Structure 1
Amino acid sequence: MGWLKKFQSENRYVVFFFLYVGFCISYIDRSAIGLALPSISKDFALAPTQMGVVISAFFIGYSIMQLPGGWMADKFGSKSVILIALTLWSIFTFTTGHASSLAGLLFLRFVFGLCEGPYAGACYRGIAEYFPRELRPAFATGVLSSNYIGSAIAPIIIVPLILWFGWRGMFQALGCIGLVYVFFYAFFVKQVKPAEEEKAGAKKGSKKEYFLKLLHFSIIWKLVV
């Protein structure tokens, strides 16, 4: 696999481009259900309350994985968590197009939320890995945090897909797009450690200790709720 390393980059701006595109994909994928819901509710004969539950199922799974997602990114590195999260949520986006019942749709949306949940935390871990401390708040983290381009362009992508392929084909197409992105991310991005960890040689158990301390702050649980 030595030949692969020749193509992998640790250039901060290359990595940032991939992280930003991944955020766009995540916003497009999560917006898809809202735009497809009229067609889905017609096929499944859903009441308004049931439609609300379908949308909420994603956010329940997504919120559950916020803290564990950040911990996993610290433990295994941003690249591993991003690749796993994106692969799994793309698979469940694809399989949403095969849902045959309300229960199945709810399950797929909940698991989709679980799989997408770690992505944001892994991205911010990625910022720490590739950007010096002074650039993190003002440039990298600030730009990622304000990334709503995915939501803005979602209708432009999703509505034509629904018109051409139906809502099922739309989810399948989005899932395939996500899997293609995973290939390019794995191929072109090199995993590194934050500079301060390289210098200090992160102590064993310290990350676990910090994570357990984090759970004692009530503000964290309020944010999750």
Structure 2
Amino acid sequence: MTLAEKNTTAAKVTMGKMTNYRWWVMLFIFIIYTVANADRANIGFALPYIREEFAMSNTEAGALISLFFIGYSLGQIPSGFLTSRFGIRKMFTAGMFLTSAFTGMMGVVDSAFHLKILRTMVGLAESPVVIGCTATINNWFPAKEKGTATGIFLAGSKVGPLVVPPLCAWIIMTFGWREIFLFFMIPGVLLSIFWYLMVRSQPGESKFVSASELQYIQTEETAVAKVERKKEYNLWWLDKIVRAKKVVPLNTSKQVFRSWDIYGAALGYFFIIGISSIMMSWLPTYLVTIKKFAIMKTAFVAASPFAGTVVGNFLGGWLSDKYLNKRRKPLMMVTAFSASLMMYSLVHAPNDPILLAMLLFITGVFFSLGYSAFACYPMGRVDKEQYPIAWGIVNTGGQLGGACFPLIVGIILDKFSWNAVFASMAVGSMICLLIVSTIIEPVEDPLERPRI
């Protein structure tokens, strides 16, 4: 054995066997965020029965839905600062535990007022959960895997609404609407404890991560790898469209709060989350009252757009890492443009449940291609220390959209029709496209037009 081979062997022994615990952490994130989003989505299916008991107008029902997003948006930036201060592990565990506890309390309310208070508290408590998920991905994954990991994470946000309709339909038929919230409380409480025991804020703090995996996570791409990736990605014209530039990452909170790129991403996310919240909260009511579907048929159709978003989130994250060389804006723009077309198509939605489910599935796929890119975008624009704050700003914008849009839908429905709702969503998608087009795509090496 040569000296070089002996050194290589010794290095391997020192580094230990290559573990892949980061993907186990990704699985934990997927499951936990699925449960967290089920906690927020279950009210959509319970809403018709809540309105019967507490006699609510469309506007009041929209306000009830919006209260979650009001609490959620108010908690984003403070959660970013608190996560930076106390660490992901503590804030994530506390947030998930309280989210589930407040969800369970909604099943024992005696008035609409108490229901509104608890709905707001569910949103406020869940704020550290989403900050913790994305910050964990930013810390635990190398740059070349962050898009894929974020796509998996946000797919979990759509698996929740996907499993909610059939599960809620069974609970209502077997027990009642109150039991929905009691049933959904249990897994979240258990998973919060599980997270505290199994996941650390940094991979270097975890006993399950070998030195080899830690080095893999922390090592940037080699110069040779960068050249190879640049050869694969030669769409110079796309770099012109998305305004790709090499920029210095923002490394202070002051810089983050003064950056148009962060605010532009937040405003774009405002419309994306707003439209998503409408589909999550108002779709069952639309299917029951307008399409006159029975409860199980409603559950089947209401789940279809979220099945599409699961596919779209996986696909979008993988495409941005594999074929777009970590560029996030292209798919953000594709989502905004396609959402406008799909929302307009719902004005002429078919009455056949199979055809409508297919249309909503396709809508979900295109709508979510760039969904994960909004969370990935700040990862390339700011350093790791400032990421929780930057993502807090972006997600604040998104959740304000989630707060405003369901309420706006209620107001529109009290005066107009569902066609006006879908037309308004189409216009909102086009505004999102215009805003997103103004922000910079941060890249290490923007492509130039090849010289002939």
Instruction: State the partner residue of 1:80.
Output: 90
TM-aligned CA deviation for residue 28 of structure 1: 0.8
Instruction: State the partner residue of 1:216.
Output: 258
TM-aligned CA deviation for residue 115 of structure 1: 0.9
What CA distance in whole angstroms lies between the structure 1 residues aligned with 2:109 and 2:100?
Answer: 15
What CA distance in whole angstroms lies between the structure 2 residues aligned with 1:10 and 1:95?
Answer: 38
TM-aligned CA deviation for residue 58 of structure 1: 0.6
Count of residues paired in the alignment: 206
- CA contact 1:25–1:150 (8 Å) conserved in 2: yes
- CA contact 1:77–1:125 (8 Å) conserved in 2: no
Instruction: State the partner residue of 1:134.
Output: 144
- CA contact 2:30–2:155 (8 Å) conserved in 1: no
Pairwise mapping of residues 142-221 of structure 1 onto structure 2 (< 5 A)? 142-147=151-156, 148-192=158-202, 210-217=252-259, 219-220=262-263
TM-aligned CA deviation for residue 104 of structure 1: 1.0
What CA distance in whole angstroms lies between the structure 1 residues aligned with 2:200 and 2:96?
Answer: 17
- CA contact 1:74–1:125 (8 Å) conserved in 2: no
Question: Which of residues 31, 37, 46 is equivalent to 1:27?
Answer: 37
Distance 1:193 1:212, change over 3 A: farther
Residue deviations 1:75-133, cap 9 Å, x none?
32222221111011101001011221111111111111111122212101111222223
- CA contact 1:95–1:171 (8 Å) conserved in 2: yes
Higher RCO (CA < 8 A, seq sep 6+)? 1
Instruction: State the partner residue of 2:100.
Output: 90
Instruction: State the partner residue of 1:11.
Output: 21
What CA distance in whole angstroms lies between the structure 2 residues aligned with 1:10 and 1:135?
Answer: 13
What CA distance in whole angstroms lies between the structure 2 residues aligned with 1:185 and 1:63?
Answer: 24
What CA distance in whole angstroms lies between the structure 2 residues aligned with 1:185 and 1:82?
Answer: 8
Runs of 4+ in 1 over 6 A off after TM superposition: none
Q: Determine which structure has more spread, i.e. the larger CA radius of gyration.
A: 2
Output the amino acid matched with 2:54: F
Output the amino acid matched with 1:107: I
TM-aligned CA deviation for residue 30 of structure 1: 0.9
- CA contact 1:79–1:126 (8 Å) conserved in 2: no
- How does the TM-score come out when normalised to structure 1? 0.81
Distance 1:212 1:107, change over 3 A: farther
Aligned-partner SS, 1:105: helix
What CA distance in whole angstroms lies between the structure 2 residues aligned with 1:98 and 1:47?
Answer: 22
Give the share of equivalent positions with the same residue, in percent: 29
What CA distance in whole angstroms lies between the structure 1 residues aligned with 2:258 and 2:113?
Answer: 35
TM-aligned CA deviation for residue 61 of structure 1: 1.0
Residue deviations 1:174-223, cap 9 Å, x none?
11121111122223223425779xx9xxxxxxxxx723432233553645
Which region of structure 1 is more displaced relative to structure 2, 88-97 or 47-56? Answer: 47-56
Instruction: State the partner residue of 2:46.
Output: 36
Question: Which of residues 59, 71, 81 is equivalent to 1:49?
Answer: 59
Aligned-partner SS, 1:97: helix
Instruction: Tell me if 1:59 matches 2:69.
Output: yes
Question: Which of residues 45, 64, 69 is equivalent to 2:79?
Answer: 69
- CA contact 1:10–1:130 (8 Å) conserved in 2: no
Which region of structure 1 is more displaced relative to structure 2, 178-187 or 56-65? Answer: 178-187
TM-aligned CA deviation for residue 159 of structure 1: 1.8
What CA distance in whole angstroms lies between the structure 1 residues aligned with 2:200 and 2:131?
Answer: 18
Output the amino acid matched with 1:31: A
What CA distance in whole angstroms lies between the structure 1 residues aligned with 2:20 and 2:97?
Answer: 21
Output the amino acid matched with 1:121: I
- CA contact 1:10–1:192 (8 Å) conserved in 2: no
Aligned-partner SS, 1:100: coil
Aligned-partner SS, 1:46: coil
Pairwise mapping of residues 112-127 of structure 1 onto structure 2 (< 5 A)? 112-127=122-137
Output the amino acid matched with 2:253: F
Which region of structure 1 is more displaced relative to structure 2, 213-222 or 58-67? Answer: 213-222
Output the amino acid matched with 1:211: S
Residue deviations 1:113-172, cap 9 Å, x none?
1111222121011112222233212x2122223431111111122221222221112101
- CA contact 1:10–1:191 (8 Å) conserved in 2: no
Structure 2: segments with no counterpart, 5+ residues: 1-18, 205-213, 219-250, 271-396, 401-452
Residue deviations 1:6-46, cap 9 Å, x none?
xxx99211111111111111221111111001111111122
Output the amino acid matched with 1:51: A
Distance 1:10 1:101, change over 3 A: farther
